[in-house]
Amino acid sequence: MKRYFLDANILIDFLACRLPFAHHAQQIFEAAEQGRIKVFVSSHSIASVYYVLRKYSEEKPLRMAILALMENSSVIALNDEMIVRSLRSGWKDVEDAMQLECAYSIRNLDGIVTRNIKDFKGSKIPLLGPERVLAF
């Protein structure tokens, strides 16, 4: 079974039904629900996604949607060592460095799924656009 780490933009695409990107995000989560792939998200992404979407969504439905998303995702928590490595990494965007640290902590990961591939240039893990995940 393929194992993918999902960047926050994939979560937002899915939860906000952000067009034209929602279709691929929905397919990814359907594949995870069906047990065809395993997906991982960072705890930081959950917080960031909630923060961004609460401006556009009602509180209770947003919380319920995030809880439902988590049912088929494994959440990777940032710890102090990961945060320190992120801050010392030299990456331009510390949030992206935190995402990478979470991804690096997962064994046998097949890829990081993001729409911002250029933001992760230099990753030790293959980068995939969401449209490519289910093509494999």
Out of 3.40.720.10, 3.40.50.1010, 1.10.390.10, 3.40.50.1360, select the CATH number for domain 2-133: 3.40.50.1010
Question: What pairs with residue 5 in β-bridges?
Answer: 40, 112
136: confidence class by pLDDT, cuts 50, 70, 90: low
2-51 pLDDT, tens digit per residue, is: 999 999 999 999 999 999 999 999 999 999 999 999 999 999 999 999 99
Helices marked H in the chain? 8-15, 22-33, 43-53, 59-70, 80-88, 94-104, 130-133
Tell me what pLDDT residue 134 has: 80
Q: Say how far residue 57 (Cα) sits from the centre of its chain.
A: 20
128: confidence class by pLDDT, cuts 50, 70, 90: very high
pTM of the model: 0.94
